[in-house]
């Protein structure tokens, strides 16, 4: 075996062992940054396959090469350590996911709340409206001081009578409209608009 062939064989072997993935001869030439030409790499692969260091699989017209898994020494203690570490990391990831989910929910809740600036502005508006309503009430009370109690009682009684009559007539009108709608194909809103009835 020439020096060049020995170097290429060693380089291909180390590369396939390190990456531990399947490659075509073209991939290996490219991944070794063209240190060796294709013919040299193919010779090296053939030699490694003959020595059972590398396995060869035919995929259509293309050959795929990968490091023989039987030649890899497994450190079972290290595998146990790695499994344990993976378990710890999965547990940590699960806790972090729960934390993130909780913070996302809190963020969503905070977004739904009205900002302080808007609340303060709304409070000012309500206070202003309340003050105006108090002024109106005070004005009405001042006007009502000179009203005769008997006259006020008469007005209140007349108001109650009118309200009772209005409810009675509204009920009668509603029953009449419902009766007409039973024989009408139009929706209630369209019917009321056509007839010219306004609802309060």
Q: Is 44 contained in some domain?
A: yes
Final residue belonging to a domain, choices 88, 113, 138: 113
Average pLDDT, the chain: 84
Gap between the Cα atoms of 47 and 12, Å rounded: 11
Range of lowest pLDDT (21-30, 94-103, 127-136, 183-192): 183-192
The pTM score is 0.38
Domain span at residue 97 reads 74-113
Of the candidates 52, 56, 58, 78, which has an alpha carbon nearest to the alpha carbon of residue 66? 56
| SS3 label, residue 1 | coil
Going by the DSSP 8-state scheme, the letter that residue 115 receives in this structure is: P
Task: Please tell me the total count of domains within the chain.
Answer: 2
Residue 35 sits in the same domain as residue 57: yes
Domain harbouring 11, CATH code: 1.10.10.10
Point out which residues pair with 63 in neighbouring strands.
58
Gap between the Cα atoms of 140 and 137, Å rounded: 5
Q: Where are the alpha helices (DSSP H) in 51-115?
A: 76-112
Residue 96 sits in the same domain as residue 60: no
- pLDDT 10s digits, 37-52: 888 999 999 999 899 8
Q: Is 200 contained in some domain?
A: no
Gap between the Cα atoms of 86 and 93, Å rounded: 10
Q: 1 pLDDT band (50/70/90 cuts)?
A: very low
Helices (H) and strands (E) in the chain, counts: 7, 2
Residue 39 sits in the same domain as residue 84: no
Going by the DSSP 8-state scheme, the letter that residue 23 receives in this structure is: B
Gap between the Cα atoms of 85 and 91, Å rounded: 10
Residue 99 sits in the same domain as residue 49: no
Overall average pLDDT of the 3-31 stretch: 86
Residue 87 sits in the same domain as residue 54: no
Of the candidates 124, 34, 16, which has an alpha carbon nearest to the alpha carbon of residue 71? 16
Overall average pLDDT of the 24-49 stretch: 88
Q: Is 39 contained in some domain?
A: yes
Residue that wins the pLDDT comparison between 200 and 184: 184
Q: Is 128 contained in some domain?
A: no
């Amino acid at each position: 075996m020439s020096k060049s062939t020995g170097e290429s064989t060693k380089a291909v072997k180390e590369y396939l062992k390190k990456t531990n993935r399947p490659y075509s001869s073209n991939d290996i030439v490219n991944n070794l940054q063209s240190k060796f030409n294709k013919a040299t790499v193919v010779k090296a692969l053939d030699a490694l396959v003959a020595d059972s260091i590398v396995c060869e699989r035919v995929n259509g017209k293309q050959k795929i090469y990968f490091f023989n898994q039987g030649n890899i020494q497994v450190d079972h203690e290290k595998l146990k350590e790695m499994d344990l570490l993976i378990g710890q990391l999965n547990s940590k990831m699960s806790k972090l996911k729960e934390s993130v989910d909780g913070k996302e929910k809190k963020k969503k809740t905070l977004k739904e709340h009205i900002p302080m600036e808007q609340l303060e502005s709304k409070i000012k508006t309500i206070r202003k409206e309340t003050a105006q309503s108090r002024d109106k009430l005070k004005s009405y009370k001042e006007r009502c001081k000179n009203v005769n109690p008997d006259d006020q009682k008469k007005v209140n009684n007349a108001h109650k009578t009118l309200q009772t009559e209005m409810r009675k007539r509204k009920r009668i009108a509603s029953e009449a409209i419902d009766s007409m709608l039973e024989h009408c194909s139009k929706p209630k809103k369209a019917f009321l608009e056509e007839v010219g009835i306004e609802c309060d």
